Amino acid sequence: MATSEYHHGEMDIHDQEATWHAFTTGSTWGGLLIVLSVGYAVLAVAIGMNWMISLGLMTVLGFAAGVFLNMGGRWMATMVLLIILALIVQAFIWLFGVVL
């Protein structure tokens, strides 16, 4: 019979825990960003809702999800930057619509 030097509960699993935490955090962020992007596109393009209303709804959903999932200040800052980016993109769309 083979002998083993393994003793249950004595292995350092700090690296594995850190990897799992990073994976779950990245998956949560990525999933929420996809949901918000697709939700905005569905509301604004497919349904034909006004872009400001659909942006407002996705903003509320994004902030609520961040609070519910306890994602912290980085998520809130990301949401603010995404809102600013969306407003800049809509400004360019309006500008090119006026020019053409």
Per-residue pLDDT tens, the chain, 100 aa: give them: 566 777 777 778 899 999 999 999 999 999 999 999 999 999 999 999 999 999 999 999 999 999 999 999 999 999 999 999 999 999 998 999 888 7
Domain that holds residue 73: 31-99
What pLDDT does 13 receive?
Answer: 84
In a domain? residue 40:
yes
In a domain? residue 25:
no
In a domain? residue 7:
no
In a domain? residue 3:
no
* Residue 85 CA: distances (Å) to CA of 5, 7, 33: 56, 53, 14
pTM of the prediction? 0.80
Give residue-wise pLDDT tens across range 47-56: 999 999 999 9
Give residue-wise pLDDT tens across range 28-41: 999 999 999 999 99
In a domain? residue 39:
yes
In a domain? residue 83:
yes
In a domain? residue 23:
no
Count structural domains, the chain.
1
In a domain? residue 5:
no
- Spatial CA neighbour of 79 closest among 95, 56, 62: 62
